[in-house]
């Protein structure tokens, strides 16, 4: 009977040119059902990923990210990378892709040619990507954690605000490059020195940003009401404000993570490269190769890979940030 | 309002001073002071005791410590009459070892040690280094000196008090040609006696304190001078401010009549004459040209200064970015979710996410293909070489302007006043240009002074890629060459600009938006 009714409705709706969803359908009264108070089941993170995966662009960028992570973290482990393997072979240096393929035969290794010490450019960029991505992730993790925690306290405490704003005004005027350079000169230019140098003052800008956001949300009516009802400040912070901040924090991370990769490239270019062969270090070393005909791949490969990584991280992060805003879950 | 501004300015000055102090701690206290010799060729040539002495002398010059030599101490004793002039050479003859000192020397050394140790100095005596039994090794002469680390506050205070100097008629010690004082003339002699008022000083450091000429800004002065700190290695002995503002390039010669009446082709700029003690006596060239010791002249050069190039490129890039970025941002907001908005968003993502190095090189390659000059050449008259640096510099700010203007305008589009305007029958065009734009642009106005003043600082990567002789690389070169003086000077300059631009931004914002007021009375 129900089937028949439904058919009937379908038939009618087709007749009116409207789809099923747009029409009212009859619901029979049920005593049991009417006793229930229900809302649609809502799980925050499930909704986030539902919204996130609805956008097909995100799947493409996630695939690119997966590809990048596979090649930078797993591929060097499988294939192995020896930078000085061909050091003594003069004819293996500075080869364009076509020459490298002609000399070594076609393999993934040779499709970007060979570099200054006969190393495979393809292998080198992934080895460099691993260092650059690790640097960005570690720096972002430290800066975001410290920044968000300090920013939250900074936003809630009015007494701390005066002091921290002063500190912020002063520290931001000390050139970031100078801080990093001094750290590199005091210690040696290693990976962990750079992490230290980029996080020693880097968290302050994030904390300031979070502080501003907290201040905006802190004084909204619903928080005022919550405070009047006697909710402790920590509960307001974790239950009322933090959910609001999730999308802000994710969006911020989307900007931060690629920015460390870019900044590492920038530092290397002005001569403050770290001793590990990161992407920035590769670009710095290959700068002179850029103008030599046939050597261009040595310079452009790391530049292009750095750009792809940063764009993929940025777009994924931004869209994840959008998806984590509950207002998009409708 | 004035009171508020005054408070802000004072606040700014304090934070700038704290910044300078922090930077001094960073580079003087935290860095290994031996690093300053990393690129010093004189240092690497010296050996043994001479090397040590050179090290301490340089550290004194660089402001690390106070340093006093035994020879100076002996001269001081002669001046006070404790020793006679005849005893000088005897007193100066230190023994190769303390045991071999003569009685007079031992007495003087004792006094030297006592005097300086009571002042907190460390006294260092280096015995002669012998190559063999008779001969001393190169640079192995015996040495005696005392040093004391310079306290941070002392260094800070002397730096800050030395920031501005005013030229006075007692700036120069000793005998002068003619009488000490200022003269005012309506007919500047450098100008060939044509009408041109000038104030000429005698006994001052500069000869011309105030003068007019035919170059912008027409009135010039040497009375007040900014000293940001003397550079040690990059531009040794020259003040950072002068490095930034002095013209560069090749000499421009013209017919010049020197004070003696000699006329010849020269690039000398007589208005810049500075007192150099004893210079006229020592050189026939100066003898022929000058009537007094004001012989230290700068030269007229064809190019702009470092800051000049940076500013010209920077300010044009700022103009370009506002001219393109603002209409694009408005168009994106109006055509939200249409193809223009999408294309703009892709551009914004590209600019924000891609390392600046990558897109600068990309646009350089594109511009090079289009036939534009890819490197900057000071001697070239072509204005085309400015094109690529300006575009490279404008790209990121266009992206930023588009991003924020679009966001602010879309935020405003749902406001009640927009709905009201629409219900009142205003056209969309009118609503956008008259109502939404005016409200959306307020936060952007705050950034205008920062971008204009920021143009003076220059851009690191752009200038390096296009070989622009601008001010952008000053900090990085100073860091790479361990030039402490220049680092402090450049940092101070940056800090002042950033403090000033934030204050100006607030003022500008309150002028554009009458709702914003800083004095509590108006509220």
Per-residue pLDDT, averaged over A160-166, amounts to 88
Asked whether residue A107 is domain-assigned, the answer is: no
Pick among A259, A270, A278, A290 to test the B interface (most B CBs inside 10 A) = A270
User: Minimal Cα–Cα distance from B132 to chain A, Å?
Assistant: 40
- Do residue A307 and residue B352 have CB atoms under 8 angstroms apart? no
User: Minimal Cα–Cα distance from B83 to chain A, Å?
Assistant: 47
Asked whether residue A69 is domain-assigned, the answer is: yes
pLDDT of residue B449: 92
Q: What is the mean pLDDT of chain A?
A: 83
Crossing angle for the helix pair A296-323 and A44-54, to the nearest 10 degrees: 130
**Dihedral, B264, B267, B271, B274 alpha carbons, nearest 10:** -100
pLDDT of residue A1: 42
pLDDT of residue A16: 57
Judge whether residue B512 has pLDDT over 60: yes
Judge whether residue A156 has pLDDT over 70: yes
Query: What tens digit of pLDDT does each residue of B54-110 get?
Result: 889 888 888 888 888 888 888 888 888 777 877 778 777 777 787 777 888 888 888
Query: What tens digit of pLDDT does each residue of B177-207 get?
Result: 777 888 888 877 777 677 888 888 888 888 8
Asked whether residue A2 is domain-assigned, the answer is: no
Cα A327 to chain centroid, rounded: 22
Q: Which among B356, B464, B491 is the nearest to A262, CB-wise?
A: B356
Query: What tens digit of pLDDT does each residue of B212-230 get?
Result: 877 777 888 888 888 888 8
Taken as a whole, chain A contains a residue count of: 330
pLDDT of residue B327: 92
pLDDT of residue B321: 95
Q: What band does B522 get if pLDDT is binned at 50, 70 and 90?
A: very low
pLDDT of residue A59: 92
Per-residue pLDDT, averaged over B454-471, amounts to 88
User: Minimal Cα–Cα distance from B113 to chain A, Å?
Assistant: 34
DSSP B111-138: HHHHHHHHTTPEEEEEPPPBSSSSSBPT
Q: Residue A171: give the domain boundaries.
A: 44-79+127-282+313-329
Q: Picking from A86-95, B151-160, B267-276, B367-376, which range would have the lowest pLDDT averaged per residue?
A: A86-95
Q: Picking from A7-16, B74-83, B322-331, which range would have the lowest pLDDT averaged per residue?
A: A7-16
Asked whether residue A92 is domain-assigned, the answer is: no
Per-residue pLDDT, averaged over A30-51, amounts to 81
pLDDT of residue B316: 95
**Between B335 and B324, whose confidence is greater?**
B324
Judge whether residue A17 has pLDDT over 80: no
Question: Is A57 an interface residue toward B (CB < 8 Å)?
Answer: no
Q: What residues of B are in contact with residue A270 (Cβ under 8 Å)? A: 460-461, 464, 473, 476
Per-residue pLDDT, averaged over A62-76, amounts to 91
**Dihedral, B238, B241, B244, B245 alpha carbons, nearest 10:** -100
Nearest by Cα to B479 from A57, A51, A180: A180
Query: What tens digit of pLDDT does each residue of A207-223 get?
Result: 999 998 888 888 888 88
pLDDT of residue A139: 95
Judge whether residue B523 has pLDDT over 50: no
pLDDT of residue A13: 46
State the total domains in chain A: 1
Per-residue pLDDT, averaged over A249-268, amounts to 90
Asked whether residue A288 is domain-assigned, the answer is: no
Q: What band does A64 get if pLDDT is binned at 50, 70 and 90?
A: very high
Question: Is A246 an interface residue toward B (CB < 8 Å)?
Answer: no
* Domain B306-469: homologous superfamily in CATH: MetI-like (1.10.3720.10)
Question: Is A165 an interface residue toward B (CB < 8 Å)?
Answer: no
Asked whether residue A27 is domain-assigned, the answer is: no
User: Minimal Cα–Cα distance from A299 to chain B, Å?
Assistant: 10
Kindly state the percentage of chain A with pLDDT values over 90.
Answer: 22
Judge whether residue A167 has pLDDT over 70: yes
Asked whether residue A35 is domain-assigned, the answer is: no
- Do residue A307 and residue B354 have CB atoms under 8 angstroms apart? yes
Helix (H) or strand (E) holding B372: none
Q: Please give the Cα distance from A4 to A106 (Å, whole number).
A: 66
Q: Residue A173 maps to which CATH number? A: 1.10.3720
Q: Which among B15, B32, B349 is the nearest to A314, CB-wise?
A: B349
User: Minimal Cα–Cα distance from A300 to chain B, Å?
Assistant: 9
Q: Picking from A203-207, A227-231, A298-302, B445-449, which range would have the lowest pLDDT averaged per residue?
A: A298-302
pLDDT of residue A3: 47
Query: What tens digit of pLDDT does each residue of A127-142 get?
Result: 889 999 999 999 999 9
- Do residue B355 and residue A261 have CB atoms under 8 angstroms apart? yes
Q: What residues of B are in contact with residue A319 (Cβ under 8 Å)? A: none
Q: In chain A, whose CA is at the least distance from the CA of B496?
A: A173
Please tell me the pTM assigned to this model.
Answer: 0.83
Q: What residues of A are in contact with residue B356 (Cβ under 8 Å)? A: 262, 266
Q: What residues of A are in contact with residue B473 (Cβ under 8 Å)? A: 270
- Do residue A186 and residue B31 have CB atoms under 8 angstroms apart? yes
Tell me the residues of B at the A interface, defined by beta carbons under 8 Å apart. Answer: 15-16, 18-19, 22-23, 26-27, 30-32, 35, 349-350, 352-358, 361, 460-461, 464, 473, 475-476, 479-480, 487, 491, 494-495, 498-499
Kindly state the percentage of chain B with pLDDT values over 90.
Answer: 16
| CATH 1.10.3720.10 in chain B, residue ranges | 306-469
Over chain A, what HEC string results? CHHHHHHHHHHHHHHHCCCHHHCCCCCCCCHHHHHCCCCCCCCHHHHHHHHHHHCHHHHHHHHHHHHHHHHHHHHHHHHCCCCCCCCCCHHHCCECHHHHHHHHCCCHHHCCCECCCCCEHHHHHHHHHHHHHHHHHHHHHHHHHHHHHHHHHHHHCHHHHHHHHHHHHHHCCCCHHHHHHHHHHHCCCCHHHHHHHHHHCHHHHHHHHHHHHHHHHHCCHHHHHHHHCCCCHHHHHHHHHHHHHHHHHHHHHHHHHHHHHHHHHHHHHCCCCCCCCCHHHHHHHHHHHHHCCCCHHHHHHHHHHHHHHHHHHHHHHHHHHHHCCHHHHC
Judge whether residue B35 has pLDDT over 90: no
Query: What tens digit of pLDDT does each residue of B397-425 get?
Result: 999 999 999 988 888 888 889 989 989 99
Q: Picking from A185-199, A229-243, B209-223, which range would have the lowest pLDDT averaged per residue?
A: B209-223
Query: What tens digit of pLDDT does each residue of B306-318 get?
Result: 888 999 999 999 9
- Do residue B15 and residue A169 have CB atoms under 8 angstroms apart? yes
């Amino acid at each position: 009977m129900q089937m028949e009714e439904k058919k009937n409705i379908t038939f009618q709706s087709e007749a009116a040119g409207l789809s099923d969803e747009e029409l009212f359908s009859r619901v029979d009264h049920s005593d049991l059902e009417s006793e229930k108070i229900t809302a649609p089941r809502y799980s925050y993170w499930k909704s986030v990923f539902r919204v996130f995966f609805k956008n097909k662009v995100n799947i493409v960028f996630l695939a690119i990210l997966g590809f990048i992570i596979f090649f930078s973290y797993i591929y060097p482990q499988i294939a192995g990378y020896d930078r000085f393997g061909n050091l003594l072979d003069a004819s293996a240096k500075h080869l364009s892709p076509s020459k490298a393929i002609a000399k070594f035969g076609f393999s993934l290794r040779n499709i970007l040619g060979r570099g200054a010490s006969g190393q495979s450019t393809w292998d080198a960029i992934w080895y460099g990507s691993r260092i650059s991505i690790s640097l960005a992730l570690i720096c972002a993790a430290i800066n975001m954690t410290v920044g968000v925690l300090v920013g939250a306290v900074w936003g809630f405490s009015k007494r701390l605000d005066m002091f921290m704003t002063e500190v912020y005004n002063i520290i931001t005027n000390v050139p970031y490059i100078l801080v990093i350079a001094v750290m590199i000169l005091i210690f040696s230019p290693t990976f962990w020195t750079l992490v230290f140098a980029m996080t020693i003052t880097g968290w302050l800008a994030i904390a300031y940003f979070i502080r501003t956001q907290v201040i905006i949300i802190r004084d909204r009516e619903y928080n005022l009401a919550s405070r009047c009802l006697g909710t402790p400040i920590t509960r307001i912070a974790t239950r009322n404000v933090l959910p609001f901040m999730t999308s802000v924090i994710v969006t911020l991370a989307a900007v931060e993570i690629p920015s460390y990769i870019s900044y590492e490239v920038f530092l290397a270019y002005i001569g403050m490269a770290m001793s590990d062969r990161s992407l920035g270090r590769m670009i710095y070393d290959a700068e002179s190769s850029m103008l030599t005909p046939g050597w261009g791949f040595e310079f452009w490969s790391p530049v292009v890979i750095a750009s792809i990584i940063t764009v993929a991280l940025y777009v994924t992060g931004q869209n994840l940030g959008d998806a984590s805003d509950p207002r998009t879950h409708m | 309002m004035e009171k508020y501004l005054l408070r802000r300015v004072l606040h700014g000055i304090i934070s700038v001073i704290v910044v300078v102090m922090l930077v001094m701690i960073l580079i003087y206290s935290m860095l290994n002071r031996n690093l300053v010799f990393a690129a010093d060729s004189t240092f690497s040539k010296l050996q043994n005791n001479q090397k040590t002495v050179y090290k301490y002398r340089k550290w004194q010059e660089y402001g690390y410590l106070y340093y006093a030599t035994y020879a100076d101490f002996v001269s001081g004793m002669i001046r006070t009459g404790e020793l006679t002039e005849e005893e000088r050479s005897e007193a100066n003859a230190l023994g190769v070892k303390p045991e071999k000192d003569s009685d007079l020397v031992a007495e003087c050394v004792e006094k030297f040690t006592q005097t300086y140790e009571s002042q907190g100095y460390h006294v260092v005596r280096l015995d002669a280094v012998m190559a063999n039994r008779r001969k001393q090794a190169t640079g192995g002469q015996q040495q005696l000196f005392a040093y004391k680390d310079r306290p941070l506050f002392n260094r800070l205070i002397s730096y800050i008090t030395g920031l501005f100097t005013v030229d006075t008629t007692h700036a120069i010690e000793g005998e002068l040609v003619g009488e000490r004082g200022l003269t005012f003339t309506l007919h500047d002699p450098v100008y060939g006696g044509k009408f041109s008022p000038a104030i000429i000083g005698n006994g001052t450091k500069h000869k011309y304190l105030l003068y007019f000429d035919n170059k912008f800004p027409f009135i010039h002065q040497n009375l007040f001078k900014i000293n940001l700190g003397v550079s040690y290695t990059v531009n040794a002995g020259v003040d950072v401010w002068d490095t930034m503002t002095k013209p560069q390039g090749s000499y421009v010669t013209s017919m010049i009549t020197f004070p003696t009446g000699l006329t010849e082709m020269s690039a000398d700029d007589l208005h810049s004459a500075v007192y150099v003690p004893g210079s006229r006596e020592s050189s026939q060239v100066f003898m022929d040209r000058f009537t007094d010791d004001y012989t230290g002249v700068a030269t007229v050069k064809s190019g702009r200064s470092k800051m000049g190039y940076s500013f010209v490129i920077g300010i044009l890039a700022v103009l370009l970015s506002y001219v393109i970025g603002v209409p694009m941002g408005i168009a994106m907001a109006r055509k939200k979710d249409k193809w223009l908005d999408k294309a703009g968003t892709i551009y914004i993502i590209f600019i924000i996410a891609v390392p600046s190095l990558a897109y600068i090189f990309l646009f350089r390659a594109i511009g090079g293909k289009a036939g534009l000059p890819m490197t900057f050449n000071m001697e070239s008259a072509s204005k085309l070489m400015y094109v690529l640096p300006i575009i490279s510099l404008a790209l990121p700010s266009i992206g930023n302007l588009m991003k924020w203007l679009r966001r602010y305008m879309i935020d405003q589009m749902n406001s009640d006043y927009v709905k009201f305007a629409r219900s009142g029958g205003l056209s969309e065009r009118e609503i956008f240009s008259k109502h939404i734009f005016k409200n959306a642009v307020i936060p952007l106005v705050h950034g205008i002074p920062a971008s204009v003043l920021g143009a003076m600082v220059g851009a690191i990567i752009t200038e390096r890629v296009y070989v622009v002789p601008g001010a952008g690389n000053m900090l990085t070169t100073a860091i790479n060459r361990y030039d402490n003086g220049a680092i402090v000077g450049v940092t101070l300059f940056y800090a002042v600009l950033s403090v000033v631009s934030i204050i100006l931004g607030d003022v500008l914002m309150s002028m554009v938006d009458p709702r914003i007021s800083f004095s509590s009375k108006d509220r």
